[in-house]
Amino acid sequence: MTAYTPEGLPDRIQHYIDGEFVDSIDGDTFEVLNPVTNETYVHAAAGKKADVERAVAAARRAFTEGPWPRMLPRERSRVLHRIADLVESRDQRLAELESFDSGLPITQALGQARRAAENFRFFADLIVAQADDAFKVPGKQMNYVNRKPIGVAGLITPWNTPFMLESWKLGPALATGNTVVLKPAEFTPLSASLWAGIFEEAGLPKGVFNLVNGLGEDAGDALVKHPDVPLISFTGESSTGQLIFGNAAPYLKGLSMELGGKSPAVVFADADLDVAIDACIFGVFSLNGERCTAGSRILVQREVYDEFVERYAAQAKRVKVGHPHDPETEVGALVHPEHYDKVMSYVELGKTEGRLVAGGGRPEGFPTGNYVAPTVFADVAPDARIFQEEIFGPVVAITPFDTEEEALALANDTKYGLAAYIWTNDLKRAHNFAQSVEAGMVWLNSNNVRDLRTPFGGVKASGLGHEGGYRSIDFYTDQQSVHITLGAPHNPTFGKA
């Protein structure tokens, strides 16, 4: 099957500021590549400090003078539901563009588009149901909490599942009455450009949503350092998160950062191996392995280790690599040649650090493009770089363990702590292990099934803060305590005559 180009691609990608599509003030652009061919298919406006300042000024004006922050929650909820309806109605087109731009398999991109609609619907419902605390002392005092939107939220999103992850930030930021400036990843700006039309059609007021494309070191850096942007929500690499942390510190900004991961999948001898193998295949090879919660370290108890490795490797070899637009494709093309080179460097390194049992290079039939065969290394030592470092591709390391104590030590033996997956039929072990593993999210005998009401985030180098459900409401609002005296005021008298 030959490379596919969707119809109706834009001839250029612009910023969207104060209700208008605009070029960069200096006219600069950057190339956007097709991951299947690595050819430039469009140029996008390259935002700089001046463009960010223009966008922030528009968002600030919409916050201080516009209707959005002062609308009733039910009124904002109606707009968010219309947004969700529009996203749902355009899911096929969104998936087509997302798959083309990012290299994700079309069937998985379609799921992400539908999830984006659900994110808006969830927060549309949540703000109407929001109940804040009130504390009463009858006849004496009443205290209640008043939530207020904070201002301009700076949203910096990654290139893996970009449209869905943009919705994960846009939904709660807008629901709570803030205005936003979105800086999408430079590798995948195509689907982000669709938000403007969706928001306009849904009735979002002018200036509430603004979008600035550009490189992280230019547009992203300017957004983080802008004094009129009190909130930054970032998803991306831990090293970039450290830079943002330092650059935001002088302004004491609110930060929510979901960072890298090297999540363990722990398979005990009493686990259902059929189910565990399926889950561990999906957990690292879905979304091309470009997922923060990938179970990229598989720890297997010695009694079933050889059987697990043999069966896992055989199944990995059957995973269908193909063009992103092919509905049968399970692993598509990695997002960009820079990332492809990084992943392939880890594949070569892995050949010196473990036993290669599947993959290990470019798959047959794909001489060009960013294709990596699903790659499995067994017998990987805990100090190996492929055990310790985030690869963010279809590459997995398998390591044996003997005891539960050893499994826990191995699981916790990285700087990351985003997710963990535990496979065992011992109920007591499952819960005790979950409480001891250093991870923000744990799945017991299940694989990355998310309830949007629960907190999402990691510990250690995997994140700062949590979002999801009421945690998102907390992040995007100020909580003001109001105190009322119902009886005689309790005032100690100073300076009494």
Q: Which amino acids are annotated catalytic?
A: 258, 292
Own/partner long-range contacts of 130-136 (Cβ < 8 Å, ≥24 apart): 130/73, 130/473, 132/479
Interhelix angle 106-129/91-102, nearest 10 degrees: 120
Neighbours of 358 (CB within 10 A): 20
Separation of first and last alpha carbons in the chain: 95
Per-residue 3-state assignment (H helix, E strand, C coil) for the chain: CCCCCCCCCCCCECEEECCEEECCCCCCEEEEECCCCCCEEEEEECCCHHHHHHHHHHHHHHHHHCCHHHCCHHHHHHHHHHHHHHHHHCHHHHHHHHHHHHCCCHHHHHHHHHHHHHHHHHHHHHHHHCCCCEEEECCCEEEEEEEEECCEEEEECCCCCHHHHHHHHHHHHHHCCCEEEEECCCCCCCHHHHHHHHHHHHCCCCCCEEECCCCHHHHHHHHHHCCCCCEEEEECCHHHHHHHHHHHHHHCCEEEEECCCCCEEEECCCCCHHHHHHHHHHHHHHHHHCCCCCCCEEEEEHHHHHHHHHHHHHHHHHCCECCCCCCCCCECCCCCHHHHHHHHHHHHHHHHHCEEEECCCCCCCCCCCCCCCCEEEECCCCCCHHHHCCCCCCEEEEEEECCHHHHHHHHCCCCCCCEEEEECCCHHHHHHHHHHCCCCEEEECCCCCCCCCCCECCCHHHEECCECCHHHHHHCEEEEEEEEECCCCCCCCCCCC
Contact (CB, 8 A) for 44 and 13 = yes
Which residues lie closer than 8 Å to 111 by C-beta, 6 or more apart? none
